[in-house]
Amino acid sequence: MKMTGLSRLTETLRWRTTDRRCCMPMVFGYAANAAGISLKDALTQTDALVSSQIIAQRLFGYDAVHVYGGSVTEVESFGVPLVFPETDYPYIDPDYKPVNEDALADQPLPDPTRHGRMPYLLKSVKTLRQEIGRQVPVVAVVTGPVTVGAQIVGLETMLMGFVEQPERSRRYLEKISLLSRNLALAMVDAGAHVIMIMDPVSSQSIMPPEVFRRFSLPLLQNIFRSCREAGVLACCLTITGKVDGFFPLYPDIGADIVTLDYEVDPAQAFHRLPNLVIQGNIRPLDFVEGHPDDIKKECKNLLHLAESRPGYILAAGCELPLNSKQANVEAMIGST
């Protein structure tokens, strides 16, 4: 019997076999492009976001829909000014001057139900859950607190602060993580099946494992713990780039699923993370520059490697690029 995307994910989380391999590419803004909807609209209007996600999911048949407002959603709620291009994600106004870490710690905490574009994202989760949530899991994406911190105070300032003023760093990051946690909980309350924390700055290419352990790990643990208590189906951690140095810490984070970028050896990850569902690690650029045969080959290799591992989800370990070729996305789904 053909399973739904939701049942495929549920069974994968239980490490049980499915009718075909669960396939959950991170289709964020690409959904708008595939659906012929303005990306700017999909990032600012519930109807556009919901329509683009449903159209793209039905077009390709993958196993999840996503609610993502861009990596600057949280900083926007702190009052950081953004620029909204027509065909790309919003970014921080180049004239923005990063705030002092102490000032950030003292700022009032934004409310996910009232500030920035967070209310529209919550409404999108709710609508998607109502529209297709019985068949397809709704994945709500929250930016990791360390990434948000880097955006607000500046990455270099934040990294140097870890070394020179660790307590000060902890103080403002804990403040930000309260927003991340409150947003995640509001997403769960609105109906999200999965909370995905995207934390690209908590990458091994940016910080050594010891810094990750001291600063990122406790914040991520706290958010995932709260989501579990609120009854979320699954918690997912997405850190792009190399992460194998963090593997000894991964089982303690509290995530059910961890994504794996193309730079990490999947065989090693399967071996070293025997109890975590792994999602990845197709090379994202291949969806843009590659040929469907390249994608099929990558998928075949990954599926072969994961043959005896029910806890694997086919995808890239990073967002599907905005300018991906439709034939390449079809090739990935066709490989399952």
- In the complex, the residues that contact other proteins under the rule CB under 8 A are 87-88, 91-92, 94, 155-156, 159-160, 162-163, 204-208, 211, 240-242, 262, 283-286, 288-289, 321-323
Calpha distance 105→19 (Å, rounded)? 49
Within 8 A by CB and 6+ apart from 134, the residues are 4, 6
> Taking the complex as a whole, how short is the minimal distance between the CB of residue 87 and other proteins, in angstroms?
8
> Taking the complex as a whole, how short is the minimal distance between the CB of residue 83 and other proteins, in angstroms?
8
> Taking the complex as a whole, how short is the minimal distance between the CB of residue 136 and other proteins, in angstroms?
26
- The residue among 68 and 262 lying less far from other proteins, judged by its C-beta, is 262
* Token code pair at residue 7: 């049942």
- The residue among 3 and 155 lying less far from other proteins, judged by its C-beta, is 155
* Token code pair at residue 295: 């994608």
Name the H helices within the chain. Answer: 5-13, 29-35, 39-42, 46-60, 73-77, 101-106, 118-132, 145-153, 155-164, 166-190, 209-211, 217-229, 266-272, 286-289, 292-305, 326-334
Total count of residues recorded for the chain: 336
> Taking the complex as a whole, how short is the minimal distance between the CB of residue 37 and other proteins, in angstroms?
17
Calpha distance 269→250 (Å, rounded)? 11
- The residue among 142 and 159 lying less far from other proteins, judged by its C-beta, is 159
Q: Give backbone dihedrals phi and psi of 255, rounded to 5 degrees, phi first.
A: -90, 150
> Taking the complex as a whole, how short is the minimal distance between the CB of residue 159 and other proteins, in angstroms?
5
Alpha-carbon torsion 17, 188, 201, 222, what sign?
negative
* Burial annotation 137-171 (CB, 10 A radius, 16+ → b, else e): bbbbbbbbbbbbbbbbbbeebbbebbeeeeeebbe
Calpha distance 229→240 (Å, rounded)? 27
Q: At what angle do helices 118-132 and 166-190 cross, to 10 degrees?
A: 40
- The residue among 91 and 221 lying less far from other proteins, judged by its C-beta, is 91
- The residue among 156 and 293 lying less far from other proteins, judged by its C-beta, is 156
- The residue among 138 and 159 lying less far from other proteins, judged by its C-beta, is 159
> Taking the complex as a whole, how short is the minimal distance between the CB of residue 332 and other proteins, in angstroms?
16
Partnered with residue 238 across adjacent β-strands are 198
> Taking the complex as a whole, how short is the minimal distance between the CB of residue 293 and other proteins, in angstroms?
16
* Token code pair at residue 228: 């579990």
> Taking the complex as a whole, how short is the minimal distance between the CB of residue 29 and other proteins, in angstroms?
10
- The residue among 252 and 289 lying less far from other proteins, judged by its C-beta, is 289
- The residue among 54 and 206 lying less far from other proteins, judged by its C-beta, is 206
Query: Residue with structure tokens 């180049």?
Result: 94
